Amino acid sequence: MGAVSLALMPKSERFMVGGTEHRVVLTPTAPLPVGGRVLRVLSDSIQRATISVEEVMSIYLSMGGNELAVLAQTGLKHTRS
């Protein structure tokens, strides 16, 4: 498995590139989420999370320090290897 990141999906629109379906996501930067990266990712690799934009921004502002607490509050599972 590759890297996993919380990201925002500004549009649910899907598009084809090279015969595979993609979506666009935004990954803010920490600790100031005023910038970030716009990425094209395979649609099959996206897992929806029931987490608010405010909770995502809280994780980025804390540079990941409160991630486990926020995920526990939202009921998302987090595993360590």
Q: How confident is the model at residue 40, as a pLDDT?
A: 93
Distance (Å, rounded) from C-alpha 12 to C-alpha 75? 23
How far is residue 40's CA from residue 61's CA, in Å, rounded to a whole number? 24
Asked if the model's pLDDT at residue 1 lies above 60, the reply is no
Q: How many domains does the chain have?
A: 1
For residue 33, being part of any structural domain is answered with: yes
> Does 19 have pLDDT greater than 90?
yes
Residue 36 lies in a domain: yes
- What is the structure's pLDDT at 11? 86
Q: Which amino acid is at 67?
A: E
Answer yes or no: is 32 within a domain.
yes
- Note the pLDDT of residue 81: 40
Q: Is residue 79 part of a domain?
A: no
The per-residue pLDDT for 24 is 95
Look at the pTM and tell me if it is higher than 0.85: no
User: Which residue segment(s) compose the domain that 19 sits in?
Assistant: 15-74
Size (the chain), residues: 81
